[in-house]
Amino acid sequence: MPHASRHVSPPSPTAQEPVGPRDSGSPAAVRPASFAQKRLWFLAQLPSGNAAYNEPLAFRLDGPLDRDALAHCLDVLTERHEVLRTRLVESEGEVWQHIDPPGAGFSLALVDLTDSADPEARLEALRSEEAGTPFDLAVGPLGRGTLVTLGEGSRILLLTFHHTVYDGHSMSVMMRELGRLYAARTSGDTDPLPPLDVQYADHAQVQHDAVTDGALSAQESYWQGALAGAPAVLELPADRTRPAEQAYEGGRVEYAVDAATTDAL
């Protein structure tokens, strides 16, 4: 089964050092972080901020399951998508993506609650622990999983990723590809997924090039004009005093948007 590996970080680059594809003798490829990653990295430095941007997922798996095949498929996805092997490392005020080479696999723990007196309560405790345990963005890995056995033919797959490397669209891609890989693995077929031409680090590079080349200057000019005269501080009504330090308490709030509002949007 895969296991979490200890990462040894290479010397962090300075702004003047070349940044490009990984050399064969280098332990990690060093690429610019995207603007979204930089924002989330900054927020993760605030008190209680890191675990607030965990992306916890839970999937019920009923029926027969080949655990080794599942673990293998998660390993394959980690090799396939560089962002699942990415850490965020700060150097001299700048944040960089450190993309570790393939081979370490995906960290998947196994927990058997078959003989537990209250498996559902224990499962809920595990889910809470997984969601609330922070990641070390510089050390990584920034994704982990736990396969919980509740009984014969009843399992829960817990997956947790940091938002710097995972979002809602990532979940759709991962579940679709995981399903195809598992079906192929358990039937003896070869890997059905085509090679990837573009990785997330390439998207981040395009962002940086657009800024350097001045491609966003028109947008900057538009918003400078649109926001001219706007108040420096936007005072919004609230039902309580805003705390000096955000605590990220209370979970998530669900709400519905009616059809007329959706159509107008």
The pLDDT-based confidence of 15 (bands split at 50, 70, 90) is very low
Model's pTM, two decimal places?
0.80
Mean pLDDT, rounded, for 135-145: 96
Domains of the chain in sequence order: 29-209 (3.30.559.10)
Q: What is the dihedral of CA 195, 137, 17, 99, to 10 degrees?
A: -20
Give percent helix, percent strand, percent coil of the chain, each to the nearest 5: 35, 20, 45
**Percent of the chain scoring above 90 in pLDDT:** 71
Structure confidence by residue, pLDDT tens digits, 34-77: 999 999 999 999 877 778 899 999 999 999 999 999 999 999 99
Q: How does the average pLDDT of the chain come out, rounded?
A: 87
Amino acid at 2: P
Q: What's phi and psi for 247, nearest 5 deg?
A: -105, -10
Mean pLDDT, rounded, for 110-120: 94
How do 54-62 and 154-162 pair as beta strands? antiparallel
The enclosing H or E element of 90 equals strand 86-91
Q: What's phi and psi for 197, nearest 5 deg?
A: -85, -25
pLDDT of residue 19: 37
Structure confidence by residue, pLDDT tens digits, 166-187: 998 999 999 999 999 999 999 9
Structure confidence by residue, pLDDT tens digits, 217-236: 899 999 999 999 999 888 88
pLDDT at 190 over 90: yes
Structure tokens at 237: 């009504």
